[in-house]
Chain A
Amino acid sequence: MEKSRHIYTVSEITQDIKIILENTFGEVWVEGEISNFRAATSGHFYFTLKDKDAVLSAAMFVRANRQLKFKIEDGLKVICFGKVDIYPPRGQYQLIVESIEPKGVGAQQLAFEQLKNRLLKEGLFDPAHKKPLPLMPFRAGIVTSSAGAAVRDILQILKKGAPCVDVIIRSARVQGEGAALEIAEGVEDFNRFKEVDVIIISRGGGSTEDLWAFNEEVIARAIYNSTIPTISAVGHQINTTLSDLVADVFVETPSAAAKIIVDKKNKLLSELESYKYELISSVTAVIQGLKNNLIALRHMLKSPLDRLLEKQQLLDELSTALLSHIRHCLSIANERALSLIKRLEALSPLAVLSRGYSLSTLVSNGAVVKDAAELKAGDLVKTMLKKGSFLGTVQEVIEDDKR
């Protein structure tokens, strides 16, 4: 027994295990959750993959991890591809990872989420940083492919709805490698060129992959740093791009970006109409107010002639009244005089004479003789008849004439 026993050195047995492991597993896919992640100064990544019951050490060397689009962090559920190996100095087996993909979401999507989070924390989407669009952008800059549908849509709508707007196009590739850089450069160029007052960053619809350039950091930063207001108009239905999140305004289609400008124009035109109307009605009100004042003043300021005429009229009225009053009084007096005359006529002795009576007066004193006793024989008496009179001498006085 003793003779047949084989004694390994530590190195030998480690080497054998290494060969067995390599031959048994070769290259494998391992699913697990990342923990104890550490990026060494050399650039290599070290971490452990774990599940409920076990852990597996893993290393990802710098040549492999350079390709990673997303950031590895603890808690991330991943699928690793690599081979199982032994690390002799520690007597430890480990997975040498060649590539990693996140479990559930695509690597690109994860990279996007991680970048979005980072930029969010940095404040690139901060509403406070967003600039208002100019009241009326008369010069629009468009960063897009000069051959694409987006530029045609925008030009068409502006031509129809706001032909007062000049357009400058900065052509850029909008998909594929290098597109993001070209778009970012376009935004920067407009900021250097200065001749536009809004920048539309645009492309027509496309798949998520087609639109990917608009999710790159370089675009987000160029838009964030733009001193000219920006509109992101990347045709899409589902996802919002980073370009949308950073831009001052975002719309879902190139046409919608052009419509913003057309709407601004139309709103301003109708505002201008109402300003004109307000101006006219204000100035009319001022003039009407003054007119009213004038009328009131004219009432207060009567001319001397008016006053004279007024007095003359009063005088005329009074004199007419006076005259008629006098006439009235006269006619009353007249009537009274006539009735008195009638009464006087009735009482007149002459009326009695007409009936055959006569009136005698004593010639010596003119007294009317009413009593025979007043007479004595020889008195001269004048007797009046209805017609004419005669003188007589009293023959005899008969005092009591019994007839």
Chain B
Amino acid sequence: MTKDKQSFEEDIRRLQKIVEELSGGKLSLGDSLKKYEEGIKLAQGCSHALNEAQRKVELLAKKDAKFSLEKFEDEPAEGES
């Protein structure tokens, strides 16, 4: 899992806070620009996490109470239904 995904919920919450602070219009120009930059960066990171297309499909196996992940073939052969 990518870093963007790990901190996703936290990032979204931080982004929501920044949007709120910035729309309040009470920040100095310097702070506004700083928040803006951070907000855009967070939004792009989150979008990136959602648009990622490198999924893994695995099978959870258990042996002697120990878990392991095995590759799972999720592409059914043509004609199979």
Q: Interface of A with B (CB < 8 Å)?
A: 134-136, 138-139, 141, 146, 151-152, 155, 158-159, 162-171, 189-190, 192-193, 265, 268-269, 272, 275-276, 278-280, 282-283, 285-287, 289-290
Contacts and interface: CB of A to CB of B under 8 A. Distances in A.
Given A165-B55, A189-B62, A269-B50, A138 B18 contact: no
A348 B9 CA distance: 118
Contact of B5 (A164, A170, A286): A164
A170 B76 CA distance: 18
Chain B interface, DSSP helix/strand/loop, else mixed: helix
B57 A155 contact: yes
Interface of B: 1, 5, 8-9, 12, 15-16, 18-19, 22-23, 25, 27, 29, 32-33, 36, 39-40, 43, 46-47, 49-60, 62, 67, 69, 72, 74, 76
29 contacts: A135-B12, A136-B9, A136-B49, A138-B8, A138-B49, A146-B59, A152-B74, A158-B55, A163-B54, A163-B55, A164-B51, A164-B52, A166-B1, A167-B55, A167-B57, A168-B57, A170-B60, A171-B60, A190-B60, A269-B51, A275-B19, A275-B39, A278-B19, A279-B39, A279-B43, A282-B22, A286-B27, A286-B29, A290-B29
Contacts of A290: 29
A167 B60 CA distance: 10
A306 B36 CA distance: 40
A146 B46 contact: no
B23 to A, nearest CB: 5
A168 B69 contact: yes
A139 B1 CA distance: 9
| 7 closest cross-chain pairs (CB), A and B | A163-B53, A282-B22, A283-B36, A164-B52, A170-B60, A286-B32, A279-B39
B11 to A, nearest CB: 10
